[in-house]
Amino acid sequence: MLDKKKVVLAYSGGLDTSVATMWLKEQGYEVITMTADVGQQVDLEAAKQKALKSGASKAYVMDLKQEFVKEFVWPALKANAMYQGTYPLNSALSRPLIAKVMAMVAKKENAGAVAHGCTGKGQDQVRIEVCTNALNPELDVLAPVRDWHFSREAEMEYAQAHDIPVMATTASPYSIDENIWGRSIECGILEDPWNEPPADAYTLTVDPWNAPDHQEFVEITFEKGIPVALNGEAMDGPSLIQTLNEQAGKHGVGRIDMVEDRLVGFKSREVYECPAAMTLIAAHKALETLTLDKKVLASKKELEVKYAELTYEGYWYSPLKEAIDSFVDTTQEYVNGVVKVRFYKGQAVVRGMKSPNSIYQQNLATYSEGDAFDHAAAVGFIKIWGLPVKTWKQVHKDKMPVEIFC
Amino acid sequence: MLDKKKVVLAYSGGLDTSVATMWLKEQGYEVITMTADVGQQVDLEAAKQKALKSGASKAYVMDLKQEFVKEFVWPALKANAMYQGTYPLNSALSRPLIAKVMAMVAKKENAGAVAHGCTGKGQDQVRIEVCTNALNPELDVLAPVRDWHFSREAEMEYAQAHDIPVMATTASPYSIDENIWGRSIECGILEDPWNEPPADAYTLTVDPWNAPDHQEFVEITFEKGIPVALNGEAMDGPSLIQTLNEQAGKHGVGRIDMVEDRLVGFKSREVYECPAAMTLIAAHKALETLTLDKKVLASKKELEVKYAELTYEGYWYSPLKEAIDSFVDTTQEYVNGVVKVRFYKGQAVVRGMKSPNSIYQQNLATYSEGDAFDHAAAVGFIKIWGLPVKTWKQVHKDKMPVEIFC
Amino acid sequence: MLDKKKVVLAYSGGLDTSVATMWLKEQGYEVITMTADVGQQVDLEAAKQKALKSGASKAYVMDLKQEFVKEFVWPALKANAMYQGTYPLNSALSRPLIAKVMAMVAKKENAGAVAHGCTGKGQDQVRIEVCTNALNPELDVLAPVRDWHFSREAEMEYAQAHDIPVMATTASPYSIDENIWGRSIECGILEDPWNEPPADAYTLTVDPWNAPDHQEFVEITFEKGIPVALNGEAMDGPSLIQTLNEQAGKHGVGRIDMVEDRLVGFKSREVYECPAAMTLIAAHKALETLTLDKKVLASKKELEVKYAELTYEGYWYSPLKEAIDSFVDTTQEYVNGVVKVRFYKGQAVVRGMKSPNSIYQQNLATYSEGDAFDHAAAVGFIKIWGLPVKTWKQVHKDKMPVEIFC
Amino acid sequence: MLDKKKVVLAYSGGLDTSVATMWLKEQGYEVITMTADVGQQVDLEAAKQKALKSGASKAYVMDLKQEFVKEFVWPALKANAMYQGTYPLNSALSRPLIAKVMAMVAKKENAGAVAHGCTGKGQDQVRIEVCTNALNPELDVLAPVRDWHFSREAEMEYAQAHDIPVMATTASPYSIDENIWGRSIECGILEDPWNEPPADAYTLTVDPWNAPDHQEFVEITFEKGIPVALNGEAMDGPSLIQTLNEQAGKHGVGRIDMVEDRLVGFKSREVYECPAAMTLIAAHKALETLTLDKKVLASKKELEVKYAELTYEGYWYSPLKEAIDSFVDTTQEYVNGVVKVRFYKGQAVVRGMKSPNSIYQQNLATYSEGDAFDHAAAVGFIKIWGLPVKTWKQVHKDKMPVEIFC
């Protein structure tokens, strides 16, 4: 029997989840916090202490960077996953991991509930709750911040009254979520789509005009769709991403500014910075054009759209995601090679690629000697290719009339 | 009765089509040339004289820039048409226009055939022949260059023997096609995808590091999906594109380098430069995110892929293109507004937009006071949204097992 | 200013909506009922009297059969709309009409709310509420039956206590919705998918073995995708559908039995009988194979899936539906002709068709003399068509190995 | 080194391939014939003798029924593969097998070429040649019948002159291809789509009115998407299909009559009879509605269309087919259970199903007591579900106006 008054809370170390810890405790719950290190800038030991001070009976702090990259980031990269073609899902990808780890801790601790600090209009509440449903339908999911309707001021007062440490600094105008795959930024000024994002919203990337005045190159080696080396040097996933985040970020690469359709029915202006993600997706896509068949590329693109939607909408643990992964993995067998990328003033541009599995055949493509293409075949091909429109016009003689305008 | 020994030849002014003129004449045809001005850099009067010297009985020279933009470029822009997500179809879009004008001239001149100077492995032969099939199935289509198999040297000799003027300059290493929507470049060195495109291949764009050191902005006004003004100043289509080509090109914007899947069954490395096209497509897409519904955006994206394929593959005059145009036009009713674009060092970035038809609602999106979103509704929504995966897991208890790694 | 205490109720004449009328009145509303005649078997005058007895201040009874067919059924037929490829949306199509007429009556009566008698787990609540949102966002939507949680017995008691007439007959085990496009049946026994639907669930169709022992034919004439005549006799929409319902129903045609995915997150066993709908959709689809281009057929099929989903999910009044209608209407221009259908023992089978717009060309298809197809062209076509897989195999020599099993 | 003057011919035993054997021999080839037993009605020993009499140096006769079902039919069934939603690909599925076995025999015999007896306008030439390209790009593919342009009379004369046995019977008006998955019929009278198929075209199915007057049931057990038992009795693939062919055929089930779009650019009227195939596909699809998630069903349907096209168009051995197979196989893990099918007068109707993996949950679907669905959640769900169209209408107030017609 699960203990329904024991709850595992995803704890960030910020005001919301600290207050939530105490608040849940006051509701009669034993609260166990779980703080995930997915590559964000946070003092984990301090977070642990703060959790305990905020009323947690136990505070887990877990380094999940390897799991995050291996089980979430790389599969998404293989699928070139970008929601609405633009957002590399940096925040969305961490939610199923957090839900999974909460479910694991709950199992270990025999807790009957998990909790998160999301509000009622974001996507993250959907992701964490739906993923938890999918992982262990018996777990209750609590959302104290959504339920209590505290204003910022009321939260502060509550915190002070309960001895929860509050940062002395004035509140940042930005609401941030960060991990190794990128950084999501929301703030009031962005709510008017005519406004440019403020320069100080960014921490991983410089403004392009502050980037170095010279171009810089990196060669990225892929094996079965996954990057394994930079400039020939093998690296594990988190290190490779970290290295690229720094290099690309220094050149101002990876800023995204979009109006995005939320699952909960409205449009939202969002700003992201994802230097490594944007570089790797561009390189990966390019390598696929060299190594994958035209029909595979076309069908994969359609599934990539679905993959990104499933991730965005909380369906990471779902039978469709499982089936698309099988499709994608079958194609990635062939995505091996090296891609040369140039960084300069805000742009990452693919400047060359080579692959042992290249199906680009120079002897077919060339216009020089050695041309292996059968030019005569084109005549028959075009005759048959054009037959349907020829027939159409023979039947519909009056359609698409040709008027003389000369 | 059409005169089957009278042929209208699409005449560029270059060596191939000049030799083709004479060659067709020697085969017993009366050759009427048609030179289309679609915004390329060419001396039209010189082309006319050269056509006549090469054996043409009559040489049409036609300014088609307005028709090209209105009937081909704007519809493609409304569909954000990019083949394989990358190539803005600059060359592909001019072929159905050329086929149409050849069919018109043929009708006027009672000619029974049209001819083009394409070789047997390109796309343009397909486009011109299939479009001609669709416009007037009774016309023969001749492809002298594909048929005669002259080497470059043989062509030169033939030209000299027949008094066809040949440029004294050494042959350019580049094979170029150009119009107002962009420029396509092929050359030998590009045939190895590891090689970077040579700097002198470009004429419309500068290298990013030679671009100005300051950012520059342009505000583009769209009406029903079509750009009608720059910085508030109304312009006709060709002028607006020309202006943007210069401004964006000066900042190094619009270079494309890709491996592309040809219709005729192989991959090809292609380089394009399309400063105005890339700027306008980026701005148009952004404005659609502000003014079109999520479901419309998603379905339109799928049809855009087909639209680009139809254009690439010669199916411009086809019933599917007609039906997709109806879909697209219905959506573009709402695509009105102004998009602010920043040019800097090779990039055109959207930095703001506004629209009288915006369906972005700040009172739904805001996290500040005035929030009109019903947070409580999210609870019910998530419950139902997550029900399928919850049910799935209840049935498939042993799937996606949760293992403790903490 | 709308009167928020005045409500227009969609009134069927059954127990639920009669009790709802009285219950809303007791909550302080003035209730105006609207009973739509969409071809169901109902005594409209009796319904009107019952509404007034149940507390309505005014009772509209409206013959909407022409509007229903013209604005809802024919567009759906042009789109071959079948949810999950199986359900012809008979009930789903009437909801946007009912929402529209309620909005109209509300406007005329200055009512600030509309109401329906749906429960909380069906689709119809979604359809009526979402359509009302789309038609007039200022209207409140009330769902008394969903809110009050009366058991059947409590409802009966309430009715008797308030002098609402209750049918003396024992309750039917079936829950029915009916209109001219078909009949939806739910009942307890169907909740086990292993059970066969009971014979007495059907009223529009006979069991196949009770159908006549002879085949019968009908010739259906289509103009622009819409049926306009049976056996050469012109008919208006409702008459044509009614006639086919009788003829096809007599032969046992049109029974549907499926497990369907509801929008609200679970699967449901559903039984429908739609004699005319199933006959017309089969005939319409067949005529499209004769008159529409292969590429149009393929793309239209994809949009048909979306069209059916939008209808099923309450998005009839939405910009995507509008855009798909434009696509569909453009294609239906060509869908003219006559389809011969045979009825026999539960089946409607297309047995012949002809069209002035047929693009089937006997001289291309024939294997006899007069063959106009260029057989030689096939050689070149196949060479190019097969080039990608040939190249693939040349690169991936070890894949798909050929082992000797002879 | 392959011997380019040695050819493996796919030999049916008919006039075309017998003449082809001799004709190739006269062209200087050594001809090895390969006759595949894929379940058609043919005297294999007689075919062998005839091949040798027609000039073959060696005549293979191979029983491929197990391979055909296991490697081609079952994967197609798992994908519910029907070209244009109608044709179960019976002939198309045997071509990649024949190409594979020819490639195998060629390898064993060191032959440098394979040959087939197709003409220039069918699909089969495409399938065999493209599949051969994909299996062994070094093999030449010969198509003597396409090349020689013999009339029927000339063929007969040639046969008699070369002592090739010719059937004494008058030529059948039908051109037939048959295997265990069904039978394809072409004939002159079918070339007018207004004509009904003649009764004597069919051999596997009776006319519905000649079918028994009683219904008959079969229960089909599926494991991982593959049928493994009939009425509880385990059977291997060919036996199960054969049994169903007889039972369903006896009831007149499985006739297909369609206008189909050929790959080579024109429409063709085709008649098929596939009793087992149509029964199994219907049963399999039904079982999927019980066991697969809504999103999986929707995405799978899109891939099924592609799967059928790839099969139809000769792309069986292609990387996209390989990737779709991975997707499909992942989904079929869950497609286990029993489907009850009723045969009666031309129809196979699913009348019940059950599965250990059913995700239909009676406690969610029921309207009776025990209802586990949270009705209140619907309120929040609908609010968010309808928000986009509500917003749309608030912005576009003048669109979709409500006019009073009451």
Neighbour order of strands in the sheet with A182-187: A174-179, A182-187, A267-273, A255-261
Mutate which: B295, B390, B395, B403, vs A, most A CBs within 10 A: B390
Cβ distance of A293 and C387 shorter than 8 Å: no
Largest CA distance in chain B: 86
Instruction: Name the phi and psi angles at B215, rounded to 5.
Output: -75, 155
Q: What is the pLDDT of residue A399?
A: 67
E strand or H helix at D184, and its extent?
A: strand D182-187
Measured between beta carbons, which residues in chain D are less than 8 angstroms from residue C125?
A: 378, 382
Q: Please tell me which residue, A393 or D80, carries the higher pLDDT value.
A: D80
| d(C-alpha D397, C-alpha D402), whole Å | 11
Cβ distance of D381 and B385 shorter than 8 Å: yes
Which chains, if any, share at least 3 CB pairs under 8 A with chain C?
A, B, D
Q: Nearest-CA residue of chain D relative to C85?
A: D301
Per-residue pLDDT of chain A (406 residues; tens, 9 = 90+): 789 999 999 999 888 999 999 999 999 999 999 999 999 988 899 999 999 999 999 999 999 999 999 999 999 999 999 999 999 999 999 999 999 999 999 999 999 999 999 888 788 999 999 999 999 999 999 999 888 877 778 888 899 999 988 765 556 778 899 999 999 998 888 889 999 999 999 999 999 999 999 999 999 999 999 999 999 999 999 999 999 999 999 999 999 999 999 999 999 999 999 999 999 999 999 999 999 999 999 999 999 999 999 999 999 999 999 999 999 999 999 999 999 999 999 999 999 999 999 999 877 777 666 777 887 888 899 989 999 998 888 888 876 555 545 4
- Return left, alpha or beta for B84; rule: phi > 0 is left, psi -120 to 50 is alpha, else beta: left
Sign of CA dihedral C68, C72, C77, C78: positive
- Angle (CA) D40-D44-D45 rounded to 5° is 165
Residue with tokens 């019940």: D352
Cβ distance of B402 and A136 shorter than 8 Å: yes
Mutate which: D374, D395, D398, vs B, most B CBs within 10 A: D395
Residues of D carrying an active site annotation: 16, 95, 124, 175
Measured between beta carbons, which residues in chain D are less than 8 angstroms from residue C143?
A: 379
Query: What is the nearest CA distance from C26 to chain D, expressed in angstroms?
Result: 22
Binding residues of A: 10-18, 36, 87, 117, 119, 124, 127, 175, 184, 260, 272
Q: What is the 3-state secondary structure (H, E, C) of A346-382?
A: CEEEEEEEECCCCCCCHHHHCCCCCCCCCCCHHHHHH
**Distances, alpha carbon C215 to alpha carbons A50, C243, C251, C342, D190, in Å:** 82, 17, 9, 7, 21
- Give D322's Cβ-side CA count (13 Å radius): 19
Cβ distance of A266 and D319 shorter than 8 Å: no
B272 labeled binding residue: yes
| d(C-alpha C378, C-alpha A199), whole Å | 61
Q: Which two tokens stand for residue B98?
A: 């050329």
Measured between beta carbons, which residues in chain A are less than 8 angstroms from residue C392?
A: 293, 359
Binding residues of D: 10-18, 36, 87, 117, 119, 124, 127, 175, 184, 260, 272
Cβ distance of B361 and D334 shorter than 8 Å: no
Measured between beta carbons, which residues in chain A are less than 8 angstroms from residue B84?
A: 289, 297
pLDDT grade, residue D189 (50/70/90)?
confident
| d(C-alpha A26, C-alpha A31), whole Å | 10
- How many C-beta atoms surround the C-beta of residue B375 within 10 A? 17
CA–centroid distance for A167 within its chain: 29
E strand or H helix at C260, and its extent?
A: strand C255-261
Residue pair A99/A64 in contact by the 8 Å Cβ criterion: no
Mutate which: C292, C313, C326, C334, vs B, most B CBs within 10 A: C326
| d(C-alpha B229, C-alpha B241), whole Å | 10
- Return left, alpha or beta for D266; rule: phi > 0 is left, psi -120 to 50 is alpha, else beta: beta
Instruction: Name the phi and psi angles at C180, rounded to 5.
Output: -65, -25
Listed residue (C370, C379, C369, C336) closest to C354, CA to CA: C336
Measured between beta carbons, which residues in chain B are less than 8 angstroms from residue A264?
A: 373, 378, 381
Listed residue (A320, D149, B206, A387) closest to C369, CA to CA: D149
Q: Give SS3 for C392.
A: helix
Cβ distance of B104 and A347 shorter than 8 Å: no
User: Amino acid identity, residue B331?
Assistant: T
User: How many CB pairs below 8 Å do chains A and B form together?
Assistant: 306
Measured between beta carbons, which residues in chain C are less than 8 angstroms from residue B319?
A: 292-293, 295-296, 331, 334
Q: pLDDT digits over D262-285, tens only?
A: 999 999 999 999 999 999 999 999
Cβ distance of B327 and C329 shorter than 8 Å: no
Binding residues of A for ATP: 10-18, 36, 117
| d(C-alpha C177, C-alpha C10), whole Å | 13
Cβ distance of A299 and D306 shorter than 8 Å: yes
B360 labeled binding residue: no
Mutate which: D336, D358, D359, D385, vs B, most B CBs within 10 A: D359
Q: Nearest-CA residue of chain C relative to A361?
A: C391
Residue pair A285/A292 in contact by the 8 Å Cβ criterion: no
CA–centroid distance for B355 within its chain: 27
- What is the dihedral angle through the alpha carbons of B247, B251, B257, B261, rounded to the nearest 10 degrees? -30
Cβ distance of A320 and D299 shorter than 8 Å: yes
B175 labeled binding residue: yes
Residues of B carrying an active site annotation: 16, 95, 124, 175
Residues of A carrying an active site annotation: 16, 95, 124, 175
Cβ distance of A257 and B351 shorter than 8 Å: yes
| d(C-alpha C99, C-alpha C135), whole Å | 8
User: Helix D44-53 vs helix D15-26: angle between axes, to the nearest 10 degrees?
Assistant: 30
In terms of Cβ atoms closer than 10 Å to its own Cβ (0-12, 13-18, 19+), residue D26 is: exposed
Q: Structural domains in chain B?
A: 3-171 (3.40.50.620), 175-292+334-354 (3.90.1260.10), 362-393 (1.20.5)
List all residues 6 or more positions away from A406 whose beta carbon is below 8 Å from its beta carbon: B60, B62, B101, B104, B105, B108
List all residues 6 or more positions away from A64 whose beta carbon is below 8 Å from its beta carbon: A36, A37, A38, A97, A101
| d(C-alpha B100, C-alpha B108), whole Å | 12
Candidate from A193, A371, A403 with C-beta closest to B353? A193
| d(C-alpha C269, C-alpha B105), whole Å | 63
Q: Which two tokens stand for residue A85?
A: 């073609």
Measured between beta carbons, which residues in chain A are less than 8 angstroms from residue D315?
A: 295
- Angle (CA) C77-C78-C81 rounded to 5° is 50
Q: What is the pLDDT of residue C171?
A: 62
Sign of CA dihedral D369, D373, D374, D376: negative
Q: Give SS3 for D115.
A: strand
Candidate from B259, B385, B394 with C-beta closest to A137? B394
Query: What is the nearest CA distance from D389 to chain A, expressed in angstroms?
Result: 9
Q: What is the pLDDT of residue D397?
A: 82
Mutate which: C8, C177, C264, C300, vs D, most D CBs within 10 A: C264
Listed residue (D205, D24, D184) closest to D94, CA to CA: D184
Listed residue (A47, A29, A49) closest to A37, CA to CA: A47
Instruction: Name the phi and psi angles at D43, rounded to 5.
Output: -90, 100
Cβ distance of A134 and B392 shorter than 8 Å: yes
Q: Nearest-CA residue of chain B relative to D364?
A: B391
Which parts of chain C have pLDDT scores under 50?
404, 406
Strand A233-234 with A255-261, pairing:
unpaired
User: How many CB pairs below 8 Å do chains C and D form together?
Assistant: 307
Q: Percent of chain D having pLDDT more than 70? A: 96
| d(C-alpha C12, C-alpha C42), whole Å | 9
Candidate from D196, D266, D362 with C-beta closest to C191? D362
Q: Nearest-CA residue of chain B relative to A174?
A: B367
Q: Give SS3 for D197.
A: coil
Q: What is the 3-state secondary structure (H, E, C) of A209-271?
A: HHCCCCCEEEEEEEECCEEEEECCEECCHHHHHHHHHHHHHHCCCCEEEEEEECCCCCEEEEE
Q: What is the mean pLDDT of each run of 10 residues along chain B (406 residues)?
A: 93 92 96 96 91 96 97 98 98 97 96 92 90 94 87 86 75 86 90 93 96 98 98 98 98 97 93 98 98 97 98 96 98 98 98 95 74 82 90 81 51
| d(C-alpha A293, C-alpha B10), whole Å | 34
- Return left, alpha or beta for C183; rule: phi > 0 is left, psi -120 to 50 is alpha, else beta: beta
| d(C-alpha D312, C-alpha D127), whole Å | 8
Candidate from C359, C383, C391 with C-beta closest to A391? C359
Sign of CA dihedral A123, A124, A128, A129: negative
Q: Give SS3 for D148.
A: helix
User: How many CB pairs below 8 Å do chains B and C form together?
Assistant: 85
Candidate from A359, A387, A396 with C-beta closest to C395? A359
Q: pLDDT digits over D291-307, tens only?
A: 999 999 999 999 999 99
Instruction: Name the phi and psi angles at C239, rounded to 5.
Output: -65, -45
Query: What is the nearest CA distance from B165 to chain A, expressed in angstroms?
Result: 24
Q: Nearest-CA residue of chain C relative to D306?
A: C298
